[in-house]
Amino acid sequence: MAGFPEVMDKLVSLCKRRGFIFQSSEIYGGTGSVWDYGPLGVELKKNIKDRWWNAMVRSRDDIEGLDAAILMHPRTWEASGHVAGFTDPLVDCKQCKARFRADKMDPKKLEANVCPNCGNKGTLTEPRLFNLMFKTFMGALEESSSVVYLRPETAQGIFVNFLNVQQSARQKVPFGIAQIGKAFRNEITPGNFIFRTREFEQMEMQFFVEPGTDMEWFEQWKALRMQWHLDLGLSPERLEFHQHTDTELAHYARAAFDVTFDFGGTLGHQEIEGVHNRGDFDLSQHQQYSGKKLEYFDQVNNKRYVPYVIETSVGADRVTLAALVNAYREETVEGESEGRVVLGLKPSIAPIKAAIFPLTKKDGQPEMARKIVDDLRGAFPVDYDETGSIGKRYRRQDEVGTPFCITVDGQSTGDQTVTVRNRDSLAQDRVDVSQLKGYLAGKLVD
Ligand code: ATP
């Protein structure tokens, strides 16, 4: 396997060249740590989001979906603690103007006041607190009364809608609310491609439970979420739990574990998802700040209480990066001088499911191949390619993770069969065209 950060550099270049991910506003020189998903990237990320939605919402009757607005009442962020506390301690170098997060710096360098960038001594400022929320203005006048924030997490849209959802969907505790949406953080040290960006997407679920049953549910959600990452195809040896220590634990949190993924090299094991037992902190805060009761009435036992919340919070972009890093491999091919790059994505999340090639541009082969494309298109995303040698066409598809390549050859127009080549095993099956859709469908489910 190729080393790291080499792999990340190669991925950045592959993603741009093949249309997975582009730097935002590239023609203007780019925007700091904001990325755009191209034709293949948008499919990959959508497949990952759909998997999450299916696992969390569609396949369960105790979780409801929600799509709350990005802009919320500013009091929300006072209640949640983000106005007062969503800060990173910042250190600037007066010499080279580099900026660092004090909590992520080598404590020895911080203590000795030596800039990690230019190496000068005594040029670092004292740590200052910097709020990560993006501020903007609502309405025509830039007055302080109309300041609003771009949400730094999707969770608060769920908390403020707790009773709306519970009552309209007639749910009983325990139940959950899930949503996928954009979040914004003015990160000081963004980077590592789409690992830490200033605009990103979260997939969050808050599960409301009766106090006293919370640790049981917490354990259940921990296990379910780890299984989801394994089902996505992430290698078991790259996944771990990291338990928050007392110093890492938010003051209101009763327990917190991160699911970490080993990105390799200098990045190493990093959080991709957080599973938290938040107690009744959020609902109680919103009760206090809004003056509206956010209690649940248990009709069976005739009692009222503020539920506890088990939260699962995962970044769609960060998991997409994990899937890409996990899938990237370089291989030698027997009998060929050139190796191949393969994105060994699970077929169900691959952006293109099958590519169809006529072996030559004559003898009715392109027409037959086009007809196969038309037949399959309604069922799966497919690609047609007639340019270059077959070998080159295979390489192009391997590199973007297409699990199957279908070739129409001299025999095909006669007996209505085609070859189907498997991306990973390189095995080729001869399949009757009339059976093709069923053949592929059987291999694309997991
Ligand atoms: P970190 O310590 O990496 O900044 P966090 O603990 O602040 O993350 P949470 O607030 O728990 O992260 O957010 C939940 C998930 O959202 C993270 O596990 C991550 O997948 C994703 N996420 C958070 N911040 C970013 C970001 N700036 N860019 C991309 N994804 C992010």
- Protein residue with least CA distance to atom 21, ligand 1: 315
The encoded tokens of residue 241 equal: 């739990």
> Where in 24-81 does DSSP place strands (E)?
35-37, 63-65
Q: Put residue 29 in one of left, alpha, beta given phi > 0 → left and psi -120 to 50 → alpha.
A: left
Closest among 38, 7, 9, 33 to 21, alpha carbons compared: 38
Give the number of domains in the chain: 2
Read off the pLDDT of residues 198-257 as tens digits, 9 standing for 90 and up: 999 999 999 999 999 999 999 999 999 999 999 999 999 999 999 998 888 888 889 999
Q: Are residues 166 and 275 in the same domain?
A: yes
Q: Are residues 21 and 170 in the same domain?
A: yes
Amino acid type, 331: E
Amino acid type, 93: C
- Protein residue with least CA distance to atom 1, ligand 1: 271
The neighbouring-strand residues paired with 329 are: 342
pLDDT at 2: 44
Count of C-beta atoms within a 10 Å radius of residue 442? 8
How many angstroms separate the Cα of 178 from the Cα of each of 155, 287, 375? Answer: 9, 21, 36
User: How far away, in angstroms, is 200 Cα from ligand 1 center?
Assistant: 9
User: How far away, in angstroms, is 170 Cα from ligand 1 center?
Assistant: 32
Position 239 in a domain: yes
224 phi/psi in degrees, rounded to 5: -65, -40
136 phi/psi in degrees, rounded to 5: -145, -175
- Distance from C-alpha of 356 to C-alpha of 407, rounded to nearest angstrom: 6
Mutating to test ligand 1, I would choose from 134, 249, 271, 273 the residue with most ligand atoms within 8 A of its C-beta, which is 271
Read off the pLDDT of residues 173-194 as tens digits, 9 standing for 90 and up: 999 999 999 999 998 877 899 9
Position 279 in a domain: yes
User: How far away, in angstroms, is 315 Cα from ligand 1 center?
Assistant: 6
Ligand 1 atom closest to residue 319's alpha carbon, by position in its atom list: 20
- Distance from C-alpha of 156 to C-alpha of 162, rounded to nearest angstrom: 10
Position 126 in a domain: no
Q: Which residues' Cβ are closer than 6 Å to ligand 1?
A: 153, 185, 187, 196-197, 200, 202, 271-274, 313-315, 317-318
- Protein residue with least CA distance to atom 2, ligand 1: 271
Position 329 in a domain: no
Count of C-beta atoms within a 10 Å radius of residue 3? 8
Q: Are residues 222 and 365 in the same domain?
A: no
- Distance from C-alpha of 282 to C-alpha of 79, rounded to nearest angstrom: 8
- Protein residue with least CA distance to atom 29, ligand 1: 196
Helix ranges (H only) for 124-180 are: 155-159, 162-168
Rounded to a whole number of angstroms, the CA Rg of the chain reads 26
Q: Are residues 363 and 242 in the same domain?
A: no
Q: Are residues 38 and 154 in the same domain?
A: yes
| CATH classification of the domain holding 22 | 3.30.930.10
Range of 368's domain? 343-444
Ligand 1 atom closest to residue 190's alpha carbon, by position in its atom list: 27
Position 225 in a domain: yes
Q: Are residues 241 and 306 in the same domain?
A: yes
- Protein residue with least CA distance to atom 12, ligand 1: 274
Q: Are residues 276 and 366 in the same domain?
A: no
Ligand 1 atom closest to residue 204's alpha carbon, by position in its atom list: 14
* DSSP string of 271-306, one letter each residue: EEEEEEE-TTHHHHHHHHHH-----EEETTTTEEEP
- Distance from C-alpha of 413 to C-alpha of 435, rounded to nearest angstrom: 15
CB proximity list for 300: less than 8 A, separation 6 or greater: none
Q: Are residues 288 and 154 in the same domain?
A: yes
- For each of the chain's 446 residues, which pLDDT tens digit applies? 444 557 899 999 999 999 999 999 999 998 878 999 999 999 999 999 999 999 999 999 999 999 999 999 999 999 998 988 877 788 888 888 888 888 888 888 888 999 988 999 999 988 878 788 999 988 877 766 688 999 999 999 999 999 999 999 999 999 999 999 999 999 887 789 999 999 999 999 999 999 999 999 999 999 999 999 999 999 999 999 999 988 888 888 899 999 999 999 889 999 999 999 999 999 999 999 999 999 999 999 999 999 999 999 999 999 999 999 999 999 998 877 788 999 999 999 999 999 999 999 999 999 999 999 999 999 999 999 999 999 999 999 999 999 999 999 999 999 999 999 999 999 999 999 999 999 999 999 88
Q: Are residues 401 and 432 in the same domain?
A: yes
Q: Let me know the angle formed at the C-alpha of 10 by 7 and 11, rounded to the nearest 5 degrees.
A: 85
Helix (H) or strand (E) holding 175: strand 175-184
Position 317 in a domain: yes
Provide the angle, in degrees to the nearest 10, between the axes of the packed helices 214-231 and 39-53: 140
User: How far away, in angstroms, is 202 Cα from ligand 1 center?
Assistant: 8
- Distance from C-alpha of 251 to C-alpha of 265, rounded to nearest angstrom: 32
Last residue of a domain, one of 265, 295, 324: 324
User: How far away, in angstroms, is 276 Cα from ligand 1 center?
Assistant: 13
- Protein residue with least CA distance to atom 16, ligand 1: 315
Q: Are residues 188 and 285 in the same domain?
A: yes
User: How far away, in angstroms, is 197 Cα from ligand 1 center?
Assistant: 9
Closest among 205, 157, 218 to 178, alpha carbons compared: 205
CB proximity list for 312: less than 8 A, separation 6 or greater: 204, 205, 207, 221, 225, 273, 274, 275
User: How far away, in angstroms, is 437 Cα from ligand 1 center?
Assistant: 40
Ligand 1 atom closest to residue 259's alpha carbon, by position in its atom list: 18
How many angstroms separate the Cα of 242 from the Cα of each of 196, 216, 249, 363? Answer: 19, 18, 12, 60
pLDDT at 221: 98
| CATH classification of the domain holding 433 | 3.40.50.800
Q: Are residues 238 and 198 in the same domain?
A: yes
User: How far away, in angstroms, is 155 Cα from ligand 1 center?
Assistant: 13
Last residue of a domain, one of 324, 358, 380: 324
Q: Are residues 167 and 36 in the same domain?
A: yes
